[in-house]
Amino acid sequence: MSTPPSADQLPLAPDGGPSQEDWESSVAAVLRKSGRLTGDDPDSAAWSTLTRTTLDGIPVLPLGTPETSAELPDPGLPGQAPFTRGATATRPFGAWDIRARFEDPDAELTAQHVTEDLENGVNSLWLVVGEGGIAIEDLGTVLEPVLLDLAPVILDAPERPVLAASEFVRHLVHKGVKPAAGTNLGANPIGHRDKRPMAKEVVRDVADLAVREGLKAIMVDGTAVHDRGGSDVQELAYTIAAGVEYLRLLAQAGHDANTAAGLIEFRYAATAEQFPTIAKFRAARRLWARVLELSHVEPELRGQSQHAVTSRPMMTRYDPYVNMLRTTVAAFSAGVGGAASVTVLPFDEALGLPESFSRRIARNTSSLLASEAHIAEVTDPAGGSHAVERLTEDLAAAAWEMFTQVEERGGLIHDLKDGSWDQAITEVVTSRREQVATRARPITGLSEFPQVAETLPQRRAYAVPREVVRNGADFEALRDQPAPTPIFVATMGTVAQHTARATFLTNLLTAGGITARTVGATSGVEEVLAAYNSEAVVALAGTDKVYAEWGPDLVAALREAGAQHVVLAGRPVEGLDVDDNAAMGLDALAFLHRTRERLAIDSRVDPGAATSPEVTP
């Protein structure tokens, strides 16, 4: 949507309540008080000020109006074409299937975790099998306590999907049970192409097993794109294109379109960006329903089976407890968006193998949302929201355009070989890194409000390091290698005068692994110098008035006493001879690198972490 609705439309409320013009006036008044609008800006500027833009350039509107969604197609009803509002009319689990992930190579411990989870709210099991996960020969040990006719199992075996599927089916036969509905052998040779499975043969063999035993066979995993830093539209386009490739391979293996559609499940990432996540799950169902319509699948079979996983890239290694909040919002968004199954990753996922406590918090997040917050009492609670319907339409349209371009180039399998996907994802990663660096996309506990002298929980390392492009990787790299010496912060004036800027500056420095040594209330140059300890890098924090009154004298005195580099908290002040400044809107990452380099020069050591890796374990 390129422009906001006009201000002369009908009132926002059908009973003649406030109009859009009234909303703009009220919001603009608040924005002017906070300094986000000036007195010269029109009230209508509230739209551009509050509208957020996704990494795909799609606007997330601050307010939905009838005009916002007036020309959109009918989203239908839950369980009916085009399935935007839900793959089914009701939820089989009363809310959503709570799915837990298991990858610990210790089979006995994993079996214990499986039992704990199933006894305390988990409905289905996601088992990572093979290198870095559960050994294929240990599947029997892990599954021994599981009632396989009640708890669906979803396999994830990148290296040897056919062998893992065969071993699982052998265990089913040995137990003599009919597997629970939703059980999935989980083959995904396109997504795991780097593991070198042959897509055609894998799909044929696993599908034969699945059809014989009444299982699903394929998992189209959009997190393969998301974990590498891809955008929502890229994730949607990738999954739809991959789904089409699997339909083709299944047809080649002799399966009709209706059977093939029922063998495929889709996995998407859910993030703490609430509205884009809700819209993504709704858009995915609409897109897949259109593909199945063109494939002549029976209308009642076109609903997309969706598995949501809370985002790995949004998780932080530092202040990991904040991840509980992120995953709660992500799970809420996935549930509201209509995901059939939801996996909440434990808050310590970025640190290593989760333990019983973090697993309990993860499964209880879904239980709390469903049973206490009653999120699933209404099917598609976001349906009818003008802003959500608009965002759903925009995501679906952009993803369909990208998907058709992939098809025109020969399909996803062909497209993945030429490097164009890698290049497109790299561009998104670069854009996100820039926004994180400037804190336009703040990360609480990492780039904003970091903990000083934090003690991290200790976890056992993954058997195989994770390849995830974490949103906060650049800041984490700085924290991993703390600066060698502290910076002296001259807090000028009373506590009331210096607190705001001193807090801003010390938080910023801590986010970059730099220790700040502050003074407290001071009334002049002499009191600051009395606390100064020959640090080469110093900073000033106070009000503009205090800066003007005795800032020049303080800078001169500090330089004479040995300061080599002076930083000002706030925007540049005329007449104040400083070397750098830190204010809202700056490139925080660049500032931190500059400051660390100065501190390193002072200590005569390598500054370290001059560049940070995109991929972190």
- The correct answer on CATH 3.40.50.1970 for the domain covering 97-416 is no
Q: Six-digit token pair at 303?
A: 């609903």
Residue type, 513: G
CATH superfamily name and code, 479-603: Cobalamin-binding domain (3.40.50.280)
Write the DSSP assignment of 275-297 as a string of letters: HHHHHHHHHHHHHHHHHHHHTT-
SS3 string, 499-517, reads HHHHHHHHHHHHHCCCCEE
Residues 44-68 pLDDT 10s: 999 999 999 999 999 999 998 888 8
Average pLDDT, the chain: 91
For residue 452, the model assigns a pLDDT of: 81
Cα–Cα distance between 135 and 145 in angstroms, integer? 17
Q: How far is Cα 468 from Cα 311, in angstroms, rounded to an integer?
A: 10
Write the DSSP symbol of residue 67: G
Give the pLDDT score at 603: 61
Q: Given the structure tokens 């396109």, which residue do they identify?
A: 190
Cα 375 to Cα 45: distance, rounded to the nearest angstrom: 34
Instruction: Decide if 505 contacts 489 (C-beta within 8 A).
Output: yes
Contact 226, 196 (CB under 8 A): no
Q: What does the pLDDT average to over 498-503?
A: 96
Beta strands 487-491; 153-156: pairing state: unpaired
Least confident of 183-197, 337-351, 477-491: 183-197
At residue 465, does pLDDT exceed 90? no
**Given a cut of 90, is residue 378 above it in pLDDT?**
no
Q: Which of 608, 349, 307, 317 is nearest to 484 (CA)?
A: 608
> How does DSSP classify residue 575?
T
As a dihedral over the C-alpha atoms of residue 48, residue 54, residue 58, residue 60, rounded to 10 degrees, the angle is: -50
Cβ distance 47 to 224 under 8 Å?
no
pLDDT band at 196 (very low <50, low <70, confident <90, very high): low
475, two tokens: 């800041």
Q: What is the pLDDT of residues 313-348, one digit of tens each?
A: 999 999 999 999 999 999 999 999 999 999 999 999
Residue 195, pLDDT score: 60
Q: pLDDT at position 16, please?
A: 63
pLDDT at 194: 62
Please compute the mean of the pLDDT values over residues 4-24 and round it to a whole number. Answer: 65
Residue with tokens 């265990």: 171
Domain edges within the chain: 97-416, 479-603
- Residue with tokens 């998104």, as numbered in its chain: 428
SS3 609: coil
Tell me if the pTM is above 0.85.
yes
Q: Is the pLDDT of residue 3 over 60?
A: no
More confident call, 278 vs 14: 278
The Cα diameter of the chain in Å comes to 87
DSSP classification of residue 148: T
The proportion of the chain whose per-residue pLDDT surpasses 70, expressed as a percent, equals: 94
pLDDT over threshold 80, residue 42? yes
The one-letter amino acid code at 416 reads: L
Lowest mean pLDDT among 32-36, 105-109, 357-361: 32-36
Give me the percent of the chain exceeding a pLDDT of 90.
Answer: 80
With a cut of 60, say whether residue 612 has pLDDT above it: no
* Lowest pLDDT segment from 124-133, 264-273, 595-604: 595-604
The answer, yes or no, to whether residue 462 has pLDDT greater than 60, is yes
Summarize pLDDT for 537-584 with one digit per residue, the tens.
Answer: 999 999 999 999 999 999 999 999 999 999 999 999 988 999 999 998
Q: pLDDT band at residue 12, thresholds of 50, 70 and 90? A: low
pLDDT tier for residue 617 given thresholds of 50, 70 and 90: very low
